[in-house]
Every structure is written in C-alpha cells, then in structure tokens.
Structure 1
Amino acid sequence: MSVDLKNRVDSGSMNRFQCLAIGICIILNMIDGFDVLVMAFTAASVSAEWQLNGTQIGFLLSAGLFGMAAGSLFIAPWADRFGRRPLILFCLTLSGAGMLLSALSQTPFQLALLRGITGLGIGGILASSNVIASEYASKRWRGLAVSLQSTGYALGATLGGLLAVWLLGQWGWRSVFLFGGAVTLSVIPLVLVWLPESLDFLLARRPANALAQVNRLALRLGEPAISLLPAQQVTELGTATGVRQLLTPVMRRTTLVIWLLFFLVMFGFYFVMSWTPKLLVAAGLSAQQGITGGVLLSVGGIFGAALIGGLASRWPLTRVLSLFMLVTATLLVMFVGTGSSIAAALGLGLLIGLFSNGCVAGLYALSPAVYDVSMRATGVGWGIGIGRIGAILSPVAAGFLLDNDWQPLHLYGVFASVFVLAAGCLLLLKPTAKTAPPVLANA
C-alpha cells in the first residue's frame, strides 16, 4: 500500500503539500547563496581593515567553500542513516552559530576558521534539501522542481547583495555576518513545523515510528492511512555501503563523471561569483558599480535556474545543460572586452549569471536521478563536495594569477575554457536505464 503512496508522489499531480516542501527547500538554498556571497561583498571592506593582499583574500573566500566541501562529503551522508530532516536542523544550528561568531572575529585566521565552520553546516543543508526537493516532486516536474530549488541560491545572493550594500554603509562588514546568522537561526522553526521527512527514507530505513510518520505524510498527500509497511528489502551481507556504494562496478563510471562535472562547473562558477565585484573595481569601476555587477550575476541566476528547469521538462536535460555550458563560455570570452563600457559589463554580467547559475541548477537536478534512495544523499553530497573542492581552488587560483600581474578581465577568458571542457565531459555520462526516465528522458 505504501508503494501506491510512492506512486502517488511520482505519477500524480503536484499538490499544495509537495509544493510547500519544495518551497522550504528553496528557502534553505537561499542561505547557501547568501553565505557564499557575503564574503565576496565584504571582501573589499575586510581587506581594507586588515590590509590583505590578493592571495589572502582568495584564501578567505575559499575558507567557507572548504567547510562546505567537508560538510557535503562527511556530514551529508549521515542523512542516509539518520534522516534528511534531523541533519538539516543540526546543520542550521551549526551554520547560524558560525555566522554570528564571524562578526566577532579579530584576525583573518579567526574569520577563516569560522567561515569553515559555517560552511560545514551549509554543505550538509544543501545536499539534504536537494534530495528532499527531488523526492517530493513528481517525475514529470522533478527537473523543474530541483532547478527551482536552486533558484534559492540566486535569490539569497541577490537579496544578500542588496542588504550588504546598505548594511556596509550603515554599520560595516560585521553587521552583514550578524544579519546572516540571525536569518539562518530563524529558519529552524520553519523547518520544524513545515519540512517533512523524506518518504523514500522512511520506507527504506524504517526509523522509530516510521509507520506513524508515513501515515502523516499520506494524510497530507490526500491518501488513506495504511496499517502495515511493506516488506523491507533485505541487504545482502558484504554489500558495499557509503561512498564505496557509489564506486561499485555498475555505478563507477556515472559517479566519476558526476564528480568531474561538479568540479569543473563549480570551479568556473565560483570564480565568477566570488571575484566579479572586486575585479570590476580593479578594472576601473567604482565600488558601488562592482557590487551592482555582483548583484546582477545573482539576478540573472534567478531566471537561469528556472529556465533550465522548464526546458528540461521538454527536452533531455543533458542536451540543455551542455548548451548552457557552451553559452556561458562564449559570454565569458565576450566579457573580456567590456572593461571600457559599464553598460556592456553589467549587461553581460546579467547574462553570465543567468547561464552559469543554470549550469549549477542543471547538475543539481541531474545528480539525484542517477542514485538509488539508499545512497542518494551520499551520492548528491559527494558530488557537491567534489564540486566544492573546485570552488575552493578557484578563488585561490584567481588570486595567484592577479598577484602575478594578470589583467583582471583576462581571467574570464581562462575560465571560459573550463565550461567548454565540462560540456565535453557531459557526453561521457551514460545513466542506467533504471535512473534515466525521471530526468534524462523527455517528460
């Protein structure tokens, strides 16, 4: 009977409860967007206060990303054992505390350490919320739902940028971190009341009171209660678990390609998002215009994530995603020649934000579909974690090149090649027949 309930989620129309669950996931992803960009928007002020060079700023930008990578790799997999919802609550507490304490840091080392702690929580939140959005969307709209969930990143970055401009002018860079911590902790009651546990997790792992929790979900889905859970699938002795399950012969190729795609796309994406405000200033724009450029990247991202999700409901996601990667590369090359025109730089920034955010959203939609429920959070978490490693290296590499006399805007041409390489790697992805229909086939 619970199989019918699962079929109701997969094949039925989306109801208000499912949309609400995805909406909460969007809010959770907004925290990720704000947290990543808060360091980018405050980088100039922090650098001025502590007299930091390009490499030092690069390490500060990467500290939060390092924590996010560790959170995705080592905290997110616990969601497959203890549940998506409890892990999200723990990670919200951790990241909120890290943000608040960042405002009190007195040295660059303290700030970097606290950015890492904050990132640990964000890494766990992102992988788990991405899985919940995928599991509560119907098959037809799964790609769109996860892509819309990814718009939370751009929304958080956009609103965070606008607020950062005002807060920086009024109370300085520390107030931006205080605001971020307060908002993060305020989301905890929202999750407690409205975010459901994963139905797939309840049926597969059978935690305490699983039947009661399934029946509460059935009620909210408009389905009758059940008296007994179905027979649980028996796991054979010696079966691989955790990350080893991702690298079994049947999954190894898919997993390695997913890891490579996340690494390349996030390497290019986080260079664009982290360095653009400062590089625009270095190229001759004012500080206000630099922040405006960063905000426009995020504004474009709001539409990019929604656009790729809508296109994926009509055409294969791999085809749409490769197109977005190639267009992003083209726009980055065009951006190199915009140093003398403010309007051209800001206009291209909007389009780069649209397509580069769409690339990340497409990967978030793709990754849950290729993994079984028993390893879904682990698979998504490791994919995002490997991507965060690329994100860590990206700002540091850019800072190193700048310290070696590279022209700021010329870096965009270098990072354009990364998106071309990612589009080529996408051709290597061959999902199994079992996992292909939800996202890769025409809806």
Structure 2
Amino acid sequence: MDLRQKIAQSPMSGYQWMVVALTFILNMLDGFDVLAVAFTAKSIQTELGLDGAHIGTLMSAGLLGMTLGSVFLAPFADRFGRRPLLIFSTLLSAIGMLMTYFSHSMETIAFWRIVTGLGVGGILPCTNVIVSEYANQKWRGLAIAIYASGFGIGAMLGGMSAVMLQGEYGWRSVFLVGAVLTMLAVVLLMAVLPESVDFLLTKRPANAKTRLDKIVAKMGLSGDWAFPEIEQGVKKAKVSILRLFEPQYRATTLLIWLAFITVMASYYFINSWTPALLEQAGMAKEQSQSVGMAISVGGAIGSLIFGFLASRWTARAVLISFGVLAVGAIFAFLSSSALSVALVFAVLIGALMNGCIAGLYTINPTLYAADFRSTGVGVTIGVGRLGSILAPIVAGGLLDAGWAKDDSYGATAAVIILAVVALFFLKPKVQHA
C-alpha cells in the first residue's frame, strides 16, 4: 500500500494526536521563550539603566534570530531529518535562555536572545512539517490549528507567570524557568518524538524500514506497505534554497511569500498599534487597552475555529474566506461608535487574522516535495517574519508623517486584500500524509 495515502485516509490514532500534542507543547514554549524579554523589559531596563531604544534592540534580537533560524537551519532538516534538527534547535533555545539568566549587559543579553531566536526559528518549520505529515487529510487543518494556538497560549501563560516570578525572584528567574522547561522538552523529544514519515520514505536512511514499521504499528495501520518506486534515470535533486526558484516552484514560492508577508504584517500592526491608535483618537486608555485585549482573546480562538472549518472545506477556501471577512471586520470596527460594538469586532478581527496565520501554516507544507519540504516551509516562515518585524516600524513612520487611524487601518485592509489575491492564484502542488 502507499503509506502516505494510507495515513491521509485513515482515522487519526492516539499516537498521531500525541505527535500533535508534542508540537503544541513546543510551540507553547516558543511563545514563552520569544516573548520573555517583553515580559521582563521594565525590570531589565531599570537594573541595567537602558533606554527605550536598547529595549527595542533586545526585543528585535529574538525576532532576528527566528528569521535567521527559519532560513538557514531548516534546510538541515531535509538533509539529516526533522527529528535531529528539532532536538538540536530546542536545545539551542534552552541554552540561549539559560545564558540570558547569567548575562549582565545589554550586549550579552542581545547575543543570547539571537541564539534563543535561532533555536525557535529552527523549531518552527520542523514542527509545522511534522504535524502536517502525521495528521490525516480530514483533520490536518485542526491539527495544525491546535499546534499554532500553542504560541499565543504560551505567551499568555508566560506573561502571567512572569508577573509572579519577577515580584519574588527577579527578572532572571523568568529566563531560568524557561530554560528548565525547554530542557525538559528536549528530554521528552528524545524519548518519544518519531521521525517524519515522508523523510524516511524519501531519504531512506539505513534503518528506515525498521523505524517505519514501528511507526505504522503505533498508528494501528493494517496491511503491508512498500517504499515508493524510484524512477530510473532521475537524478536526485539537491537540498538548496535555489530550488524554490526553479520553474515548477517559482510562482508558488513568490505567491506564498507574498501571502505570508502581508498577513504577518497586518497581524502584527493590528496587535502592536491598536491600543495606541485608539488612545490617540480620543479613547480612554483603559478602554483602548480593553480593545487590545479583545483582539488577543479573539486570536486565541481563531486558529481553532479555522481548524474545525478546514475539516469540512478545503484549507485554502477557508483561508481566503477569513481574509475577505477580516477586511469587512476592519471597516466595521472603524465605523463603531460604541465601545461594546468595537469590542465585538476587535474579537472578530483577532480571530480572523489568527485564523489566517493557521491557514498559512496548513497550506505551506503542501506546496513543496518531501525531500526539501522543511527548506521551503522554513524559508517562507523566515520571509514572513520580515513582515512582522517591519510592519510596526513602517506604521510608526507613517503615523509620524501624519497618517490618521482610519488611514492606517485602510492601508492594512488593502494589504490583506493583496494576500487574498495571492492565495486565489496559489494552488497546492503536493499531497502527502
């Protein structure tokens, strides 16, 4: 039997949901690790005598590391396996958190934040690919949505725990706890994380048959299976970022990059600037913060809503629908005069935008062949991260130039429309388990 198709068409087993749970835990820890500086910024600033620009540098250091990790570490997963790179990247993240605990200057903290970001950047494409490959066709959207929701939940729990830890033990304790939890995750991964099925089928390391037999047994799949036949005379392609621009992938690569950059830019602009823009427009500080919180609440449930809908319709169709609805929700939000109505649309915007991100994570692995899937996914995530880094900065410059709240949100809606257009022309090219 074709093992990929068997996994895609069979019911999800407990073992497969365990793999999904592992990726959720890792993404939750990533949310904690990446935003640890945001949780502790004021305490670090006070102790080291830093100004706002220094704190901004520390926050950007982690995002820079994530971008570099996604682009430059991900290709190693296609050469040596998703499992070893995932373990290595998680260990790297733990080391970065631990060494931040021992740091006493802005420069050393920034360096170890880059290291932490490198680890997280290597984790993201591996977990995205593994959860996509282990989920069946019906529940793939929900599985990736569960995985994607981990980042926000980890950030939320991290913020809550940081408040308690800093008051009693100081800001360094936040990084120590993050390091210990991440190191425990390394042990857990070494004990139970399986290798990617598609990697074993495609690369065929020496013990691939034995490892796949064990995975098949744990999934409870019946019947014999065989490696897919290798076409005679076909030269094995090298793992290279340049493959993304070969004729069969060029348009796909540019379209998914455009979709990622525009969605990430819109999401981070809305999350970063909404409270400040509303306060600037005359809303009370407490009310503007409530609206910002409402967007976060919507975001926490948006990916799960996407997952359930994607189990009934195609992920691409649901994703395009979410993008169109997000544009409508933004204009409805702008026309809201009552706080209660604004809160409703804020929750809706948060849910739809976070659902769009879950949708991108769902379709991204379907665009590239198994032998360089981690490379394609990783580079795309890294490129998309540029949108999240640049959006708040560009928005700040436009606001300084005299742009009003409505202008900024109108531009954001136009950017989302650009993403919808890109997704309309984007077609998944690869079917996998």
Q: Is the TM-score greater than 0.5? A: yes
- Comparing 195-204 and 155-164, the one that deviates more: 155-164
Candidates 377, 386, 389, aligned match of 2:386: 389
**Rounded Cα–Cα distance in structure 2 between residues aligned with 1:279 and 1:100:** 37
After superposition, what is the alpha-carbon deviation per residue over 1:156-214, rounded to whole angstroms, capped at 9, x for unaligned?
12222322333344444433333222222221122122221111111111123212211
- For the 8 Å contact 2:78–2:239, the answer to whether it is kept is no
**Rounded Cα–Cα distance in structure 1 between residues aligned with 2:194 and 2:311:** 25
The aligned amino acid for 1:84 is R
Q: Secondary structure at the match of 2:246?
A: coil
**Rounded Cα–Cα distance in structure 2 between residues aligned with 1:72 and 1:212:** 30
Cα 1:228/1:254, change in 2 over 3 Å: closer
Q: Is 1:193 the counterpart of 2:211 in the alignment? A: no
Q: Secondary structure at the match of 1:309?
A: helix
The aligned amino acid for 2:71 is L
- For the 8 Å contact 1:263–1:388, the answer to whether it is kept is yes
User: 1:282-297 alignment to 2 at 5 Å?
Assistant: 285=285, 290=289, 296-297=294-295
**Rounded Cα–Cα distance in structure 2 between residues aligned with 1:229 and 1:327:** 44
Cα 1:313/1:238, change in 2 over 3 Å: closer
Tell me which residue corresponds to 1:52. 51
Tell me which residue corresponds to 1:87. 85
**Rounded Cα–Cα distance in structure 1 between residues aligned with 2:314 and 2:284:** 42
**Rounded Cα–Cα distance in structure 1 between residues aligned with 2:152 and 2:110:** 23
Tell me which residue corresponds to 1:367. 364
**Rounded Cα–Cα distance in structure 2 between residues aligned with 1:214 and 1:69:** 32
Tell me which residue corresponds to 1:260. 258
The aligned amino acid for 1:422 is A
Q: Is 1:321 the counterpart of 2:342 in the alignment? A: no
Cα 1:347/1:107, change in 2 over 3 Å: farther
The aligned amino acid for 1:60 is L
After superposition, what is the alpha-carbon deviation per residue over 1:349-378, rounded to whole angstroms, capped at 9, x for unaligned?
433321221111000001111211112111
Q: CA deviation at 1:284?
A: 5.3
Q: CA deviation at 1:233?
A: 5.1
Q: Secondary structure at the match of 1:269?
A: helix
Cα 1:228/1:353, change in 2 over 3 Å: closer
- For the 8 Å contact 1:59–1:396, the answer to whether it is kept is no
**Rounded Cα–Cα distance in structure 2 between residues aligned with 1:274 and 1:371:** 32
**Rounded Cα–Cα distance in structure 1 between residues aligned with 2:106 and 2:129:** 35
User: 1:35-434 alignment to 2 at 5 Å?
Assistant: 35-47=33-45, 50-53=49-52, 56-223=54-221, 231-232=229-230, 236-237=234-235, 239=237, 241-274=239-272, 285=285, 290=289, 296-332=294-330, 341=339, 348-400=345-397, 412=409, 414-432=411-429
- Comparing 141-150 and 229-238, the one that deviates more: 229-238
List gaps (5 residues or longer) in structure 1: none
Q: Secondary structure at the match of 1:138?
A: coil
- For the 8 Å contact 1:40–1:277, the answer to whether it is kept is no
Cα 1:96/1:48, change in 2 over 3 Å: same
**Rounded Cα–Cα distance in structure 1 between residues aligned with 2:171 and 2:276:** 15
Cα 1:430/1:231, change in 2 over 3 Å: closer
- Comparing 104-113 and 42-51, the one that deviates more: 42-51
The aligned amino acid for 1:135 is E
Cα 1:322/1:59, change in 2 over 3 Å: farther
**Rounded Cα–Cα distance in structure 1 between residues aligned with 2:10 and 2:237:** 33
Q: Secondary structure at the match of 1:367?
A: helix
- For the 8 Å contact 2:259–2:418, the answer to whether it is kept is no
- For the 8 Å contact 1:219–1:225, the answer to whether it is kept is no
After superposition, what is the alpha-carbon deviation per residue over 1:234-289, rounded to whole angstroms, capped at 9, x for unaligned?
67348454222222111111111011111111122233445567778887536x99
- For the 8 Å contact 1:302–1:354, the answer to whether it is kept is yes
Identity %: 43
**Rounded Cα–Cα distance in structure 2 between residues aligned with 1:62 and 1:156:** 19
**Rounded Cα–Cα distance in structure 2 between residues aligned with 1:91 and 1:372:** 23
- For the 8 Å contact 1:331–1:352, the answer to whether it is kept is yes
Q: TM-score, normalised by structure 2?
A: 0.86
Q: CA deviation at 1:325?
A: 2.2
- Comparing 392-401 and 212-221, the one that deviates more: 392-401
Q: TM-score, normalised by structure 1?
A: 0.85
List gaps (5 residues or longer) in structure 2: none
Q: CA deviation at 1:299?
A: 3.4
The aligned amino acid for 2:64 is F
